[in-house]
Structure formats: structure tokens, C-alpha cells
Amino acid sequence: MDVAADLRARLAESLVAARVLRDPRWVEAFRQVPRHVFLPGFFVQRPDGAWAPVTAEHPDHLALVYRDEVRVTQLDNDDRAWQQALATGAVPGVPTSSSSMPTIMAIMLEALAVAPGDRVLEIGTGTGYNAALLCHALGEERVTSIDVDPGVLARAEARLTAAGHHPTCVAGDGALGYPSRAPYDRVLGTCAVSRVPVPWLEQTAPGGLIVTTLNRPVGAGLVRLTVRDGRATGRVLVEDGRFMPLRAHRQAWAEEALSAALTAEPTTSRTTLLSSRTALDPASPFEFFAGLALAEVAVAGDPVRLAHADGSWVRHRGAVVDQGGPRALWDLVEDAYRQWRALGRPRRHQFTFTATPTSQHFALDGTTLTWPLP
């Protein structure tokens, strides 16, 4: 019995049952492409927050590979963390490369709405597994994949070769795209971007699609955009999607600011009727709208904290909020909550997104309201 093939079939069936996988091409790709080839080793997080290594020798390796879960493959942009984890059993760190949750991969591949002959540019090669799915469905000559980390890319190329696929793989800044093989009928961002990069607009064929997630710590946003005349317009999808940000789009200031908010002396301290879960839990219907008021805000928990690069911060403790800095961020959240209720509690799929070379914004259906990206 081929255990891996059986696990692949079960994974594909679960994605079909969840109605995130419909196109027979993608169903067959998930059934045939061996995810374990791309994940010979990965990290799992322990209850204490440290990351432990799982190798192919682990008795549950295949079962863990074929679960519908993200698998972290790099910490802190440093491959040495893997060797250290093998030596010590576990290491601290922040994930910087992974194999995404198969459900999210399926949602985004379906959103591409590919037609025979389409050329696809994938931003963020990662393990190479998603590129292999693209190759299986479209043919390797139609797939270009780019990653900023040469080491990550080299491993992905080797594993793609082992799986029998040879797409065009490029080491470089994904925000710049890859003009040498443009135009592309589809651009797929498997990492989150703070703004849709202008080169993506320029390198997408007229009528082509961009599918990506936006780097919004609150609200996120999986968007599908049609490009015409250098302008991309489309919708925020009902399905949520959250990815590691493109390296250049990370909030380098956030960790220090959120740490400072743990003990900072507040300018104001008061009670609030709005729970942090209502505003910040991805399962909350208000969270997307809250993110419109909290543009570029970073979030951490235990206790819940918000911070902005301008020095504004919030510490939410049950029914009490402490605030400091030039802006009262929680006041903005409460104002947004009242506006959201007055607008009929719109959900994420009721918003459109527009990107041009000079500006980008969200808009709400049936209104003239817009929210520009900073």
C-alpha cells in the first residue's frame, strides 16, 4: 500500500468536500503531486512557543505533511536555525518561509481561473510545492516562479526536479516581477504585499488576473484583480487568506513597538464595551472593517496590544484599554465599529479593490466610501 498516495487522495477529497477545490485539473494535481517530496523536514511549534524539527525519520512525518496545515520551513531568514534545532531539539524564532495551508493554496489556485495555455508568474517559490501543482495543471513551460532567498530557491528547484517538474525558477525580488518572460496571463502572490507592486500591473497581459493577499495584520484580504491599461480592479474574496509578507513589506519596527506597549505608561486608561476579539479575531465579521481603520497597525497578544510606527499604541486588558502616543487607536476602532453597524455590517466580499501605478484603495459596494492604502 502506498501510504503517501492514500494520504494525498484523502487530502484532495477533504478539499473537494470543503468546496474549496472544484476544477478537475487542481483536484488531480493535489492527488498526484507528492507534498512530502517538498517537505523532507519542517518545524512544528511546541506549547512553549519553541520550534521543534520534524524529519522524514519521524514516525508521523507523512501524516503531518498531508494534514491541511501550514508547514514552517525557515525561521528568521536563517537556514542555520534548522541545524540548531536538530542539535538542540527546538529553537525560538519567527517563521520566514513555509508550505502554505493546502486549503488556502486551493482557494487561490481556483481563483486564478486558468485557461489552457495561460502563463503564470508565481511570487514566492517557498518549498516549490505550489509551483509543482501549477506545473501539473498547466505544463512546466507555462510556469515562472521567483523567490528572494537563493537558498530557499535552490532547495525548491532540487525538489521540483525530484518530482519531475522543471519550471523557470528565478532568484530575485518578487516585487519587481520577472519582465524577461512577461507578459503573464496570471500573477499569483503566495506572499502578502502591502500594496500591489506596479511591475505586476505592467507585466500582466490585458485582461489577465492578479491573485494575492494584502499584508494587513488586521483584516488581511485575498483579492482577485483584472488588469486593463495598467489598472487593476476586482473584489475582496469571501475566502480569507493570510500569508507571510513579502520580505520588503515586513514591519521591521513592529516587534520593538509591541514589546514597549507591554509596560508603557498610558496617556489615557478607560473602560470599553468593545472586546478585542470582536475587532481582531479573523472569525469576527467586523475584523475586515476594523482593519480599514487600523491601516499599518501591528498586533500582538497576551495581553492584546496594537502599535503603529508613529508611536501610537493600545494595551487591551479585558474591559480596560490603555492608550498612548499621538493617536488614540482604540477610539478609531470604536468609531469604525459604529460606522460598520450603521452601514449594515458589511462583510469582506462586499468590498472592491483598485490598484493603479499611483494609488490603491478599497471601496464599499453601493456607496461612495473609499479607503486609500497609506
52 - beta bridge partners?
44
- Complete edge-to-edge strand list for the sheet that includes strand 71-75: 51-55, 41-45, 71-75, 95-99
State the helix-helix crossing angle for 24-32 and 3-17, rounded to 10 degrees.
Answer: 150
Per-residue pLDDT, 348: 95
pTM of the model: 0.91
Per-residue pLDDT, 240: 77
H helical segments located in 41-181: 61-65, 80-88, 102-111, 129-138, 150-162
66 burial level (CB within 10 Å; 0-12, 13-18, 19+): buried
Per-residue pLDDT, 243: 60
196 burial level (CB within 10 Å; 0-12, 13-18, 19+): buried
359 burial level (CB within 10 Å; 0-12, 13-18, 19+): exposed
Per-residue pLDDT, 276: 95
Residues 6+ apart with CB under 8 A from 172: 146, 147, 148, 178
User: Residues with catalytic annotation?
Assistant: 100
- Mean pLDDT, consecutive 10-residue stretches, the chain (374 aa), reads 92 96 97 97 94 95 96 91 94 90 95 95 96 97 96 95 97 96 96 92 98 89 94 92 58 83 94 95 94 91 92 94 95 97 97 97 97 91
Per-residue pLDDT, 216: 86
Per-residue pLDDT, 247: 53
Per-residue pLDDT, 52: 96
